[in-house]
Structure 1
């Protein structure tokens, strides 16, 4: 049974550096933010991930783009609501 969008877990994935427009296109449906307060600069992606297979697919894309993975964090619902508002 497919998981509805409202119940899909939300992940925040941070990589080192700035994503190009081409790289950003690989992550459709995710919010991209740059954290320029870190050294080196980080780009963070945040969005719903359907299941573990989809998460592994995202991590494979990051690897294929040659990006350095910094963090992968599953967000709890309260934190997601706070960051959206």
Structure 2
């Protein structure tokens, strides 16, 4: 009895181990200085919001991006997992 606990079942709901594609929306149009903080993402400016697109993000990367959004004082509107492209 005892010993290390290993999980051989399915992964819990959330980000798959290989990563997933996410769309993150923040209020307002962020400037160039803020855009450089998200170099690994595609930044799309819309009239009233900025959309950050991340491809193949794992859970740690997603949390890091959300931490940066908070640290920069940006207002998070939505985080949405989007279907990835199959290759």
TM-score (norm 1): 0.72
For structure 1, the 5+ residue unaligned runs are 1-6, 81-85
Shift of 1:49: 4.4
Q: Is 1:43 the equivalent of 2:50?
A: yes
1:23 — aligned with what? 34
Q: Which runs of 4+ in 1 moved over 2 A?
A: none
| Gap runs ≥5 in structure 2 | 1-17
Higher helix content, 1 or 2 = 1
After superposition, the CA RMSD in angstroms is 2.1
Q: Which moved more, 1:62-71 or 1:26-35?
A: 26-35
- Which protein has the larger Cα radius of gyration, Structure 1 or Structure 2? 2
Q: In the alignment, which residue of structure 2 is the partner of 1:61?
A: 68
